[in-house]
Chains A and B, each alone.
Chain A
Amino acid sequence: MSTKKWFGLALVVLALLALPLVLTSVGTAWVRITNLAILFVFLALGLNIVVGMAGLLDLGYIAFFAVGAYVYALLASPHFGLHLPFWIILPLGALFAGMAGAILGAPTLRLRGDYLAIVTLGFGEIVRIFMNNLSQPFNITNGPKGITLIDGLNVAGMNFTATHTLFGIPFTGPAKYYYVLLILLTLVIVVNLRLQKSRIGRAWVAIREDELAAKAAGINTRNMKLLAFAMGASFGGTAGGMFAAMQGFVSPESFILHESILVLAMVVLGGMGNVWGVLAGAMLLSFVPEFLRYTVEPVQQMLFGKLLVDPEVLRMLIFGGALVLTMRFRPAGLWPESRHKLEMNEEK
């Protein structure tokens, strides 16, 4: 990399590090929104492995998020009286979610496209309904009431729920989570990029492009598909664990079909298969609705002097319209995978 590139990178890192401090001055809510957006980027990048690289349409992806969240919740809350440290639970959540991914993958190996979508959709619902009903005969998930009082992160004796002051700068709880998420996100991006440019990533793309030819070219498509499901799911599980820690509360309501579709929309809108496109798509779909939430009402007040349309309705209308327009004019996504260009850049 040239000095100029290093300089650019340093600027980006500095900006990212300073972001929560700036946002805190606007309102802590925005830090929380940013954190949630990063979680969605996390999810979208996990789903990108399954849908974008391996071409397996998964409509129940949020189930793995749920598995990760519940693993965290059950092992670090008064519900079972367990309070394991996060560095055990987060990997455990990823592991469980990965296993759930393989369990979903196994019976669907022969399915593609629409058929696979239907089965994965059903799987997502099954997981949610399980969470909803596993309060009897033994109370495991506490049913629709969910699990409360989940431990937050606790790094080196620093509790993440309280505000700490370092060098005279107050760091709120959400701001600290932001830094943890930023580290995790960097890891996920690196993993995604490296997998993409490996023999595993190529095998996934080959399966997406032509499964029969991939088989004939010597790829064990069964194992590769299971691996894609498990990898994608373990990302979802990690995100779920962080979600549980940040919110301090999980219930089945957070893991509805709508969320699966939202994550899928992020992947498709950004550009399937392209890590940076997916990142942009997830950011956009996380922030735009929040932005509209804060602007729709004041703008109406300003223009008409009164509230004509309910903000929530208008917000979804604008949001949906934007999605339709994007798909109409940029069907491959805002930032599509351009393998050709990637290859050229690699030659320097």
Chain B
Amino acid sequence: MSGEVLLEARNIGKRFGGVQALKDVSLTIRAREIYGLIGPNGAGKTTFFNVMTGLYPRDGGEVLFGGVPLELGTPYLVAQAGIARTFQNIRLFGNMTAIENVMVGRHVRTHVGVFGAILRTPGQRAEEAAIRRRADELLHYVGISHRANDLARNLSYGDQRRLEIARALATEPQLLALDEPAAGMNATETVALRKLIEGLRADGLTVLLIEHDVKLVMGLCDRVAVLDYGEKIAEDVPGVVQKDPKVIEAYLGAGGD
């Protein structure tokens, strides 16, 4: 799994008022690996995600993606560079159909503007058909093509998670960042999700995973980083991280006194 470095975060810092949410967090994600980011509640995992995908401005540090510094603070440029994400509390476009949700994801890779749309030029028709075709394929890929014409808000919880992944995939990412994708899923759904993520990697994607389900993370990830109080306290293969006394302390508290 020792591919070249895809993403390198250097000394990322983020402060909310008096709270230092992230402190000098550095990590490297290699191409085609599944990288887990874990830590107790409030450790700064989602904050890191939000900074990395450009939703929050950062206070310090930089992120190199494929060797190029990311324009942080402008999410659409991050998406254009090739990082897509999902949200911990699913954020779909509820009153759009499933397929339309995925079609929105194609926005960043398509170009026809207002006049093309109004005049319905041949180029626009071709692009629109391609958008629909690709969205259809992606719904197939995540296994919810039978719900294509249902409103996103009427989908089951598990299907909504899948739809969100399909929308993220529509932006043609190199790195897919999933924020607690297994949250609220039952055992069967989690197994199916695991298969989906493994399939993504097999298809050449790099996956960054925030997860609470330790079993899922340990079984799925090639490498894991542990955050605690905004600092990285460990980064290694799951077997080693699991035995790290600092990690055990962060999760269980200091043993014996």
Using a CB–CB distance below 8 Å, which chain A residues touch chain B?
190-191, 194-195, 197-203, 205-206, 209-210, 212-221, 227, 231, 337, 339-340, 343-344, 347
Q: Which residues on B sit within 8 Å (CB–CB) of A195? A: 114, 117-118
Residue in B closest to A230 when the chains form the complex, CB atoms: B114
Residue in A closest to B119 when the chains form the complex, CB atoms: A194
Contact between B171 and A218 (Cβ–Cβ < 8 Å)?
Answer: yes
Pick from A217, A227, A339, A343: contact of B107, CB below 8 A. Answer: A217
Contact between B106 and A199 (Cβ–Cβ < 8 Å)?
Answer: yes
Contact between A209 and B96 (Cβ–Cβ < 8 Å)?
Answer: yes
A-B complex: 6 closest residue pairs judged by Cβ atoms:
A218-B108, A218-B79, A198-B117, A209-B93, A213-B91, A215-B75
Residue in A closest to B153 when the chains form the complex, CB atoms: A209
| Complex interface bits, B103-138 against A, C-beta within 8 A gives 1, otherwise 0 | 111111110111011101000100110010000000
Q: Which residues on B sit within 8 Å (CB–CB) of A347? A: 149
Q: Which residues on B sit within 8 Å (CB–CB) of A200? A: 113-114, 117
Residue in A closest to B151 when the chains form the complex, CB atoms: A340
**B189 → chain A closest CB, angstroms:** 22
Interchain residue pairs with CB less than 8 A apart (16): A194-B117, A195-B114, A198-B124, A199-B117, A200-B117, A209-B93, A212-B91, A213-B87, A215-B55, A215-B75, A215-B76, A216-B84, A218-B105, A218-B108, A227-B114, A340-B151
Which of A212, A213, A221 has the largest count of B CB atoms less than 10 A from its CB? Answer: A213
Within the assembled complex, what's the spacing in Å between the Cα atoms of A227 and B57? 25
Q: Which residues on A sit within 8 Å (CB–CB) of B87? A: 213, 216
Q: Is B80 an interface residue (CB 8 A)?
A: yes
Q: Is B244 an interface residue (CB 8 A)?
A: no
Within the assembled complex, what's the spacing in Å between the Cα atoms of A217 and B87? 11
Residue in A closest to B80 when the chains form the complex, CB atoms: A218
Residue in A closest to B53 when the chains form the complex, CB atoms: A216
Using a CB–CB distance below 8 Å, which chain B residues touch chain A?
53-55, 75-76, 79-80, 84-85, 87, 91-97, 99-100, 103-110, 112-114, 116-118, 120, 124, 127-128, 131, 149-151, 167-168, 170-171
Within the assembled complex, what's the spacing in Å between the Cα atoms of A348 and B104? 23
Contact between B108 and A209 (Cβ–Cβ < 8 Å)?
Answer: no
Contact between B107 and A219 (Cβ–Cβ < 8 Å)?
Answer: yes
Residue in B closest to A221 when the chains form the complex, CB atoms: B76
**A182 → chain B closest CB, angstroms:** 19
Residue in B closest to A213 when the chains form the complex, CB atoms: B91
Contact between A219 and B108 (Cβ–Cβ < 8 Å)?
Answer: yes
**B47 → chain A closest CB, angstroms:** 15
Asked if A339 meets B95 with Cβ closer than 8 Å, knowing A198-B117, A218-B76, the reply is yes
Contact between A202 and B96 (Cβ–Cβ < 8 Å)?
Answer: yes
Asked if A339 meets B96 with Cβ closer than 8 Å, knowing A218-B80, A218-B108, A344-B149, the reply is yes
Contact between A202 and B92 (Cβ–Cβ < 8 Å)?
Answer: no
Residue in A closest to B167 when the chains form the complex, CB atoms: A217
Residue in A closest to B114 when the chains form the complex, CB atoms: A200
Asked if A194 meets B118 with Cβ closer than 8 Å, knowing A202-B107, A216-B79, A339-B96, the reply is yes
Within the assembled complex, what's the spacing in Å between the Cα atoms of A60 and B54? 33
Contact between B113 and A210 (Cβ–Cβ < 8 Å)?
Answer: no
Within the assembled complex, what's the spacing in Å between the Cα atoms of A206 and B105? 10
Q: Which residues on A sit within 8 Å (CB–CB) of B116? A: 198
Within the assembled complex, what's the spacing in Å between the Cα atoms of A77 and B110? 45
Contact between B118 and A202 (Cβ–Cβ < 8 Å)?
Answer: no
Within the assembled complex, what's the spacing in Å between the Cα atoms of A347 and B91? 27
**A276 → chain B closest CB, angstroms:** 17
Within the assembled complex, what's the spacing in Å between the Cα atoms of A194 and B124? 11
Residue in A closest to B152 when the chains form the complex, CB atoms: A209
Contact between A216 and B114 (Cβ–Cβ < 8 Å)?
Answer: no
Pick from A201, A213, A215, A343: contact of B93, CB below 8 A. Answer: A213
Q: Which residues on B sit within 8 Å (CB–CB) of A190? A: 118
